[in-house]
Structure 1
């Protein structure tokens, strides 16, 4: 499109959109200068013509789901769903719907709203906005236009294919799951970004620095904690290494027919996948304030206590009338036992963050899962089935990432720490709905996991596997929602930091005496 501009009695043009943009940036032209509008055949202020162009290019969104997505810049890859009459605020403040990592973005930079299936953007607090490279304060934006926020370019994305439609359905399901568990809906989460660092080349120093956490020298200060979505990568290396160790032991055991290697096969096979999932939760712990020794301690103590309590609860379940539930009673018994084990360590004031609780919950659950899997594998030695150990380890390894003990107890731990915060633990906290809804979610998922229910018409194997996949989807939506809220919790503390013990020490003042 070509522009003609009148200024001080002179006419300039034809000018391209880029040339007009350069003149506006150089203050050669002002937004109040007149430009020719071919549609209305009249001279209009540049600002008015830009607004009209936005309306002309902005078409009604098709029915379904649309997104505002960053296509380049510091916020590249972030995406938020646009919903009718639900404003979305982008900025660096913790209360923003989309937290910007752009250094040029303001705390509340822009508000984007959908009304009658049209998208409107409005600059907040005097923020600078550019639409297709031209200054912009408010108005309609179309699906092909680019909105610059700070250094980042954003664009309205309208799904038009089956794949996008399926993604919208999954997104809606995830939102319902988060709401049912009393959690925030996932906002700018994308699996591709979360795992984007998995295949990057790493040095030995990278590994050592990554695991150097929890000491006074390696724990970052509050203001230095990175609150962006984590990009874990060590968990995948841990998985490959564990599987390689298991394969080597299994080959040696079967090839040389050495029975003394069987315990090693069972132990390494039981650890392989749960340990990798635990490393993933270690990488989710953004505060980086948990030492590896503390993780081992929680695994040993928490795992032992949870199993011991489970044995007591299991022996009592029949006497209190729960025998009719069969194997499904484990959902109540085992989740309660792991919760009680968590209560032993909940009082440590050094770990106030909900992401700390998530990691400790994963430690307890991982220990429980490893011992349980090893027990099942050992039991299969005497089942009379050939390859019983291999089948047990393989099947439990496959389903562990879908909703194993580590994942379920991580959910419970994060919810418990979310309620506790910096306060001393009190049993009344267990009645808080923020905790109860997540805990009941874990209990229900575990109960259904152990039940004979399965997806119909798929046969026994695929029907059971389908059930596990659905449970895994629900569990991971809850976990990721808790991670998102844990990061937000830290950002809020960074904006309003809690006083340290030194800050709290004040000079003694004489008390004010009443008359």
Structure 2
């Protein structure tokens, strides 16, 4: 009985997110289009073996090039040609292997030849491996192909630094404590996620983006930049061993937290309008996901009062799973949004 209630609650959350994405686009959406978006809208099962099956297939350089040149005027497809099928990213794994191999070579240079000149490279490349690979995965998942790699890199670099600067400003204004107790961890989560949210809003408004998958990508770019620069800074302060610890943890931290907020910004704004302070304060869907990101961050930083939970990173493993489940919900909502938008265009042509 409890399991059925939980499944029902999860289905309600997903259905609400999906239909909200539809309703925000059309004030008077027709019932037949609404039914199309809602058809087969059961709880989404996550089949990782299918999602990542292309990772293990051989791909040509031309296939990689076609992905990398997305987002220009010549390569952005019309809405009718955008695919709403579940995407199967693979290029991100090549970036992961490339960066990992580069880090390995730098490590050999440092340990085998005692070259201190390899240390800056190890800090930079080691900080890039996981966040940048996840970012490329979201770039592949943006089926609209309306954001270029240049925009993504600009957002990651400028947005990442800007969010760190704004975080420092907020830390000066809001005393946050040591970040270990639950209250202090909540304040740290609020400060850092709010700083990223402000920068995410600026970039989404600047690029005039309107789709859920766009929001996920832009949020991930800013979160990845934040994570990369923060990890490099910690590595410089606490030593190279910090890179290994923070690299695997980056699977479930700033990049996906910011991606959740990026989707929330899109969900919270009126179509073809900028996201405003009024939207931030009044839209329940934005506020819900924004608070979820803060809570995930706070729980990550909190020192759970049971030593073996912290020692074996059990809470962090749980938070990684929860974060990615939310990401997949939002991706599913984004793909359903494509079908709804295409359905309206078809109805217009048939009139």
TM-score range, shorter chain: 0.7 to 0.9
| From 281, 288, 291, the counterpart of 1:437 | 288
1:280 aligned onto 2:142? no
Counterpart of 1:397 in structure 2 is 247
Larger helix share, 1 or 2: 2
Supply the distance in 1 between the matched residues of 2:176 and 2:311 (Cα, whole angstroms): 33
Residue by residue over 1:164-205, the C-alpha shift from the partner in whole angstroms, topping out at 9 and shown as x without a partner, is xxxxxxxxxxxxxxxxxxxxx742542221112110111111
Instruction: Select the residue among 51, 64, 70 that pairs with 1:207.
Output: 64
Q: Does 2:345 align with 1:497?
A: yes
Given that residues 274 and 366 in structure 1 are in contact (C-alpha distance below 8 angstroms), is that contact kept between their aligned partners in structure 2? yes
1:314 aligns with 2:162: no
Q: What do residues 97-135 of structure 1 show as CA deviations (whole Å, max 9, x unaligned)?
A: 25xxxxxxxxxxxxxxxxxxxxxxxxxxxxxxxxxxxxx
CA distance in structure 1 between the aligned counterparts of 2:38 and 2:311, rounded to whole angstroms: 46
481, 485, 488: which is aligned to 2:329? 481
In terms of mean alpha carbon deviation, does 342-351 or 239-248 score higher? 342-351
State the alpha-carbon separation in 1 of the partners of residues 346 and 160 from structure 2: 33
Mapped partners of 1:356, 1:256: distance in 2: 45
Residues 459 and 194 of structure 1, relative CA distance in 2, 3 Å threshold: closer
Query: Compared with structure 1, are the counterparts of its residues 441 and 319 closer, same or farther at alpha carbon in structure 2 (3 Å cutoff)?
Result: closer
Pairwise mapping of residues 53-72 of structure 1 onto structure 2 (< 5 A)?
Answer: none
- Return 5+ residue gaps in structure 1 as ranges: 1-63, 66-80, 82-91, 99-184, 382-388, 504-515
1:472 aligns with 2:316: no
Aligned counterpart for 2:147 among listed residues 274, 287, 290: 290
Cα shift readout 1:259-308 (whole Å, capped 9, x = no counterpart): 12210111111111111111111112111110111111111221121111
Of 99, 108, 121, 1:242 maps to 99
CA RMSD in angstroms comes to 2.7
SS in structure 1 opposite 2:76?
coil
CA distance in 1, matches of 2:168, 2:97: 34
Corresponding residue for residue 336 of structure 1: 194
Query: For residues 28-427 of structure 1, what are the structure 2 equivalents within 5 Å?
Result: 93-97=36-40, 186-318=43-175, 325-326=183-184, 328-348=186-206, 350-381=208-239, 389=240, 391-401=241-251, 403-420=252-269, 421-427=271-277
Q: Which has the larger radius of gyration?
A: 1
Q: 1:457/1:315 Cα in 2 relative to 1: closer, same or farther (>3 Å)?
A: closer
1:214 aligns to what SS in structure 2? coil
Give the superposition deviation at 1:499.
12
What number of residue pairs does the alignment pair up?
A: 316
CA distance in 1, matches of 2:40, 2:314: 34
CA distance in 2, matches of 1:252, 1:343: 42
8 A Cα contact 2:180 2:303, kept in partner? no
Q: Quick check: 1:317–1:323 contact (8 Å CA) kept in 2?
A: no
2: CA distance, partners of 1:493 / 1:351: 15
Which residue matches 1:36? none
In the alignment, is the contact (CA less than 8 A) between 1:197 and 1:232 conserved in 2?
yes
* Match in the other structure for 1:28: none
* Contact 2:176/2:187 (<8 A) preserved: no
TM-score (norm 1): 0.58
SS in 2 for 1:263: helix
Distance 1:308 1:219, change over 3 A: same
| Alpha-carbon spacing, 1:224–1:439, altered in 2? closer, same or farther (3 Å) | same
Q: Does the 8 Å CA contact 2:92/2:136 hold for their aligned counterparts?
A: yes
